[in-house]
Chains A and B, each alone.
Chain A
Amino acid sequence: MMNRRNFVRLGLGAVAAAGLVPSSLFAVDFRKEKPDAWKAKTPADAIKAIFGTDKMDKSGVSLKAPEIAENGAVIPITIKEVPAGAKTVAIFQDANPESAVAVFTIHPRSVANGISVRIKMKKTGKVTVVADVDGKLFYDEKQVKVTKGGCGG
């Protein structure tokens, strides 16, 4: 039986690989892991960069976004629902110079449903939320009409 000191010396990485450590101890920073994803101009390219594919099913995800945003600088986006078991959920749009807005890592104690942020969009466009369940992608999208562009330009 390995004593505790040797166990700790194994390193969390090795132990995690063995499935013994819950993933809530591991920070995932997509800006560092996938730097190119944040430069991608189209949702398809950004989705491929983050998830490895852009093949998705339009089901299981429910996105709430206003039909008309009076102020493009503050658009409330709520990820109302994602499929159970989603480990990564991301928001994209096609109205700004780059597409990726945010990538959420769903840890064991995270409640994925109901995540809400406020985003800016330069002009009218489509917001897409993608959820990854073991490599299979699900999505929802909503068109947001922006009457006053929000990038401060």
Chain B
Amino acid sequence: MAIKLRFKAKADGDVVKVKGLVKHPMISYDMAKAKGGEANFLTYMKAEHNGEIVFEASTSQFLSKNPVVKFAFKGAKSGDSVKISVEDLKGEKSSKEFKIK
């Protein structure tokens, strides 16, 4: 099942502010050991506008469950789309486009 992405993007002058949540259990190695399952957590996140990367993060097991992230970028306007992509430890990927308000 695809990792669910819930993001909002809003233009504020030349800057677009983005806030969102990635639905992911974010199971650390310690948690996996304690509960007997497998570790799995987001390892990579990016946002693109017009094919250019405007936000990029390599991440660890230490982001919270269903991590919320906030970031901003320049050079886009209301009506444009921003594409959010994520990847997790198991290699599962998910991408979705969100309209900038």
Give A residues with C-beta under 8 Å from B.
Answer: 22, 24-31, 38, 73-75, 78, 93, 96-98, 100-105, 107-111, 113-122, 150-153
The SS class assigned to the B binding surface is strand
With A119-B62, A151-B31 as known contacts, state yes or no: A107 contacts B56, CB within 8 Å. yes
With A22-B52, A29-B44, A119-B64 as known contacts, state yes or no: A102 contacts B58, CB within 8 Å. yes
Q: Do residues B73 and A102 form an inter-chain contact, with CB atoms below 8 A?
A: no
With A109-B49, A152-B35, A153-B30 as known contacts, state yes or no: A31 contacts B65, CB within 8 Å. no
Chain A proximity mask over B69-87: 1 for CB below 8 Å, otherwise 0: 1111111000000000000
CA–CA, A120 and B25, complex, Å = 13
Give B residues with C-beta under 8 Å from A.
Answer: 15, 17, 26, 28-31, 34-35, 43-44, 46, 49, 51-65, 67-75
Q: Do residues B72 and A102 form an inter-chain contact, with CB atoms below 8 A?
A: no
Contacts A96-B62, A105-B57, A114-B70 known; list 20 others, CB within 8 Å.
A24-B53, A25-B51, A27-B53, A27-B56, A29-B43, A31-B43, A74-B64, A93-B62, A96-B28, A97-B29, A100-B60, A104-B57, A105-B53, A110-B54, A113-B72, A119-B62, A119-B63, A120-B26, A120-B64, A120-B65
Q: Do residues A110 and B34 form an inter-chain contact, with CB atoms below 8 A?
A: no
Q: Which residue of A lies closest to B21 (CB)?
A: A118
Enumerate chain B residues within 8 angstroms of A26, measured Cβ to Cβ.
53
Q: Do residues A110 and B62 form an inter-chain contact, with CB atoms below 8 A?
A: no
Enumerate chain B residues within 8 angstroms of A97, measured Cβ to Cβ.
29-30
Q: Do residues A103 and B57 form an inter-chain contact, with CB atoms below 8 A?
A: yes
With A73-B64, A101-B62, A117-B67 as known contacts, state yes or no: A107 contacts B52, CB within 8 Å. yes
Enumerate chain B residues within 8 angstroms of A119, measured Cβ to Cβ.
62-64
Q: Do residues B59 and A111 form an inter-chain contact, with CB atoms below 8 A?
A: no
- Contact partner of B71 (CB less than 8 A), chosen from A28, A114, A150, is A114
Q: Do residues A117 and B69 form an inter-chain contact, with CB atoms below 8 A?
A: yes
8 A–B pairs (Cβ distance < 8 Å), ordered by A: A24-B54, A109-B54, A109-B74, A110-B71, A111-B72, A115-B71, A116-B70, A118-B67
